[in-house]
A and B are shown apart, each in its own frame.
Chain A
Amino acid sequence: MDLLDFARGPALQFAAGVFCFGVAWRLAVLIFTPQARDLTPARKGALPGPVAGAREVFRRMWPEMHPTGSNMFTTINGYVFHLGLAIIVFGFAPHIQVIKSFFGISWISLPPVFIHVAGGITMASLLAALVKRLTSPVLKLLSTADDYITWAVTFAPLVTGYILVGRLIQPYNTALALHILSFAVLLIWFPFGKLMHAFIVFLSRARTGAHLNHRGAQL
Chain B
Amino acid sequence: MTGNAKSAADLTDAEVKSAADKLLSLVGGSIATYTEACLRCGQCAEACHFYHASGDPKHTPAYKLVPIAKAHKRSVSPLGWLGLAPKVTREDLAEWEELIFDSCTMCGRCTIVCPMAIDISSVVASTRQAFAKVGLGPADLREAADNSRDRGSPLGLTPEALEDRIEWLADDNELDIPLDKDKAEVLLTVSSIEMMKYPQSIVGMAKLMNAAGADWTFSSVGYESTNFGYLSGRGDIARTMIERITTAAEKTGAKTVVIPECGHAFGVMRWSAANILGRPLPFEVLHITEYLAALKRAGKLKFKPYDGSLTYHDPCQISRRGGATEEARYLLEDFATDFREMTPTGNRNWCCGGGGGVQAMARAADLRHKVFQIKMDQVEKTGAETLISSCANCRLTMDESAEHFHWDHKRDSLIELLADHVIE
Residue positions of A touching B, CB distance < 8 A: 26, 29-36, 38-41, 43, 56, 60, 63-64, 66-68, 70-71, 74-75, 78, 136-144, 147, 194, 196-197, 200-201, 203-205, 207-209, 211-212, 215-219
Contacts and interface: CB of A to CB of B under 8 A. Distances in A.
A129 to B, nearest CB: 9
Contacts of A219: 111-112, 117, 347
B214 interface: no
B37 A204 contact: yes
Contacts of B417: none
A71 B113 contact: yes
A140 B45 CA distance: 13
Contacts of A26: 36
B57 interface: yes
Nearest to B122: A211
Nearest to A200: B37
21 contacts: A26-B36, A36-B275, A39-B274, A40-B275, A56-B117, A60-B115, A71-B43, A71-B46, A136-B42, A138-B51, A143-B40, A197-B39, A197-B116, A204-B34, A207-B30, A207-B34, A209-B117, A215-B321, A216-B323, A217-B320, A217-B322
A36 B122 CA distance: 13
A142 B44 CA distance: 11
A144 B280 contact: no
Interface in B250-304: 270-275, 278-281, 284
Nearest to A141: B57
A200 B40 contact: no
A200 B34 CA distance: 9
A64 B41 CA distance: 14
Among B28, B117, B280: residue with most chain A CB under 10 A: B117
B196 interface: no
Interface residues of B, number: 54
Contact of A218 (B43, B113, B116, B347): B347
B32 A30 contact: yes
B343 interface: yes
B63 A142 contact: yes
A196 to B, nearest CB: 7
B212 interface: no
A40 B273 contact: yes
Nearest to A70: B46
